[in-house]
Structure 1
Amino acid sequence: MPISTTDRPGLSFVHRAAVTAAGAAALAGLAAAYAPGTAYSEPTSTTRSTTDFSNCPPLPAGADPTRWRCEVHSAVPALAVGKVSVTLAPITMTHAEGPLPDGTKGQVWGAMHSAPTSIPGGLPGTAADEHSRLLGLAIQPEYGGRSDFYTGQLSLRFRLLNPLLPHSCTIGANEPVDFQLKRSGPSEWLSQNPPLIKFSAYDDTFTAPAAEHCGPLAGPLNRRLGLPAASGNLISYDATYTFKTYDRLPGR
């Protein structure tokens, strides 16, 4: 017996967008996405421990390894953009900082590790089973190419994951989302040896752009997510970080 769109929550969302964008040929392509080989899977963590210094970057020429330190920062961000509010999976960022030979402050980016987080309601926003292979939708933060840990500046992109979306579908694909993080209060030393510092930060002033490179579902997807959103956005998180000077790093 044929299943109507009223029997399949969210299917009309996918069907209408595909028909509008590419007609019957697109529907044939989307139907292939229903196969078990493209099933939506529960996100799994790829984050790293704050004691992992394997991503410490090479130092600038002439930098003193006794005065440069590698910092490993781990955070659990809460993100609100447009109509979406989620607590993201933990992220880990590694960078180095210290004085340059001319006496100015220097920084070198290392790496960022993160994992996808399911968005409640899935692709249509009303899915009862948001982890199903067709209706599930996840978001994953990625480094946006700009950072200044002295001033709290950080740029991120947010990849959107679903079997019906191309891998390129990203919030901030062309221009990343720029954050100007502010401390919520003073830092707290949790341990002196090894050093472990806790702090909280937030930004409620950034602009959230539309998702881009999302194929025929781009329009319905952005309406579902409430993007672009010029105001009402928020990122906040509790974070910890540790550090070692470069002369104390293993294998250096």
Structure 2
Amino acid sequence: MRTLRGAALAALAMIGLATTASADPVPTFDFADCPTIPEAADPAQWRCEVLMSNGTVKFGAIAEQPSGAMRLTFAEGQLDGQYAQVFGALRAEPTRVPGGLVGGEDRNPLLRMDIQIEYAGYADFLSVGDQMGEQHLKLRVISPLLPNTCTIGSDEDPIRFKPVRTSGPDVISTNPRVLRFTIEDKTFAVPRAQGCGVLNRLVDKRFGLPAPAGTNAITFTTLVGLKSYQQS
């Protein structure tokens, strides 16, 4: 386990710079994916954090489109006098790709295509200023004509998402404590598709892959809910 301070913890340290609690409705946070903390950890010094994000994604030949709602869960606290973190889960909704598998046609059910953000084996939420760590992602490509192994990026060759905070944190609620901020990354590269069988080249052509750094972007607005392990 790496010793590090989570994004939400850094955000809390900046509360004095944030806006006061707003009248915006507070969503219901699902803490079911909170991970088990180390046996040696003091539950009073640990909390589970749930990040609920919505935004846009653009890469390669694909124009900016909705990313699909995403929920990311992790725990952070102190272990042996240092900050530590345990990853929980990343869950995202599929989102339709306009134009479908071949471009310009998504009315035919066989040619419809979705993408879905998935975790690719690594997450570091250490924040330094507005730099908010690094998460490795991959995109599941979903279509009736593609095998369920078809992805853009993989655990071995991921999309290296290094978000930068562009606004916030704003305090949405103090009881329960909920924060909001926006993040973006326009620096990542996107690798070729893999696991798509005989349609690998078609998927690469459709998405314009590989897509070099500077041609892609992810933007999220994120709400953060917090729960102490002492409450669990």
User: TM-score, normalization: structure 2?
Assistant: 0.82
Q: Does 1:61 align with 2:42?
A: no
The structural deviation recorded for 1:243 is: 0.5
The structural deviation recorded for 1:131 is: 4.9
Q: Is the 8 A contact 1:118 1:131 kept in 2?
A: no
| Structure 2 runs not aligned, ≥5 long | 1-26, 128-132
- The residue identity in structure 1 corresponding to 2:118 is E
Q: Specify the alignment match of 1:167 in structure 2.
A: 148
RMSD: 1.3
5 Å-filtered alignment, 1:35-184, equals 50-84=28-62, 85-101=64-80, 103-127=81-105, 130-151=106-127, 152-173=133-154, 174-184=156-166
Cα pair distance change 1:143/1:131, threshold 3 Å: farther
Q: Specify the alignment match of 1:12 in structure 2.
A: none
Question: What secondary structure sits across from 2:118 in the alignment?
Answer: strand
Cα pair distance change 1:131/1:239, threshold 3 Å: farther
Deviations 1:191-223 (A, max 9, x none): 000011000001111010011111111112211
Q: Larger strand proportion, structure 1 or 2? A: 2
- The residue identity in structure 1 corresponding to 2:122 is R
Q: What's the % identity of the aligned pairs? A: 38
The structural deviation recorded for 1:50 is: 4.9
| Structure 1 runs not aligned, ≥5 long | 1-48
Runs (4+) off by over 2 Å: none
- The residue identity in structure 1 corresponding to 2:219 is S
Q: Specify the alignment match of 1:240 in structure 2.
A: 223
Deviations 1:95-114 (A, max 9, x none): 0001112x222000111211
Q: Specify the alignment match of 1:193 in structure 2.
A: 175
Paired residues in the alignment total 198
The structural deviation recorded for 1:190 is: 0.5
